[in-house]
């Protein structure tokens, strides 16, 4: 199979990645075109020790990293809040973060693309998460009826630089907490201590305010039904702390209000 046929299915996703990396579609597309032109001139430069998708991103990043200006944030162009957040991240953590969270590569695949160890990738993603948290620190409401789990989540939230404004164990407590202090993020279980529903509490909250939500639950099948809009951020119990931290960073990073402290 020719290189063109191998990489063609992956080019729309590479364009998405290039836009996120550069901040604008025009700039991202320019790099994709330049990479394709380089492949036409030297098809043997395409990596053959990995699959086509991984190789495509690897050769793209080699080109992108060879241009010094990409180590600087671009100005003078109107961009979304997420794009502005991206431009503020240092280049290597930004690459690792996008490859993991936007493109969905595994740690080992990102390591193959960036030609580093999986451990280094994990560290880069952690650095990106901390840099993001520094930009988008906000107030967080935790809806969780298990005290030990709630404490674990609270610790993770605070380690990322956010402020926990309340820990609610019931639907009623959750609504009361929002009335007292509007959060910038909600972390919610779906089955609460008094038999009430965290999902119903979240729906009531969302009817009053626009806020990103991460569900942390032992019952993901109650949300992943395919019958209604499903949550963008869903963590299954038992969870890994790094997965929760990554979800928090993603939710705030791509939220349109990222960077604004809740009032």
pLDDT at 219: 79
Residues of the chain with pLDDT under 70: 1, 68-88, 224-232, 254-263
pLDDT at 76: 45
pTM recorded for the entire structure:
0.63
39, 46 Cβ separation under 8 angstroms:
yes
CA separation (Å) from 21 to 28, 173, 204, 209?
A: 7, 41, 36, 31
82, 258 Cβ separation under 8 angstroms:
yes
Q: Where are the alpha helices (DSSP H) in the chain?
A: 3-7, 11-22, 25-41, 52-65, 81-88, 91-101, 107-114, 118-136, 147-159, 171-180, 198-208, 241-253
Q: What is the DSSP string of 28-69?
A: HHHHHHHHHHHHHH-GGGS--SS-HHHHHHHHHHHHHHT-GG
pLDDT at 80: 53
pLDDT at 245: 84
CA dist., res. 178 & res. 185, Å (int) = 11
Q: What is the DSSP string of 229-260?
A: PPPS-EEESS--HHHHHHHHHHHHHSSTTTT-
């Amino acid at each position: 199979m020719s290189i063109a046929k191998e990489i063609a299915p992956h080019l729309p996703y590479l364009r998405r990645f290039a836009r996120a990396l550069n901040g604008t579609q025009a700039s991202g597309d320019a790099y994709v075109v330049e990479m394709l032109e380089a492949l036409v001139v030297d098809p043997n430069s395409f990596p053959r020790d990995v699959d086509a998708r991984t190789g495509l991103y690897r050769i793209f990043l080699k080109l992108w990293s060879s241009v010094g200006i990409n180590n600087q944030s671009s100005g003078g162009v109107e961009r979304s809040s997420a794009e502005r957040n991206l431009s503020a991240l240092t280049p290597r953590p930004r690459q690792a973060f996008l490859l993991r969270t936007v493109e969905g590569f595994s740690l080992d695949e990102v390591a193959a693309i960036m030609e580093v160890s999986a451990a280094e990738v994990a560290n880069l993603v952690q650095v990106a998460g901390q840099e993001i948290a520094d930009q988008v620190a906000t107030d967080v409401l935790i809806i969780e009826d298990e005290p030990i789990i709630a404490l674990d989540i609270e610790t993770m939230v605070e380690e990322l630089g956010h402020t926990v404004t309340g820990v609610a164990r019931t639907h009623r407590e959750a609504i009361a907490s929002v009335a007292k202090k509007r959060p910038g993020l909600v972390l919610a279980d779906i089955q609460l201590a008094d038999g009430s529903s965290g999902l119903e509490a979240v729906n009531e909250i969302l009817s009053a305010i626009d806020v990103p939500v991460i569900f942390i639950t032992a019952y993901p099948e109650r949300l992943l039904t395919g019958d209604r809009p499903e949550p963008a951020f869903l963590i299954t119990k038992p969870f890994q702390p790094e997965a929760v931290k990554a979800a928090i960073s993603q939710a705030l990073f791509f939220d349109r209000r990222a960077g604004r402290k809740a009032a």
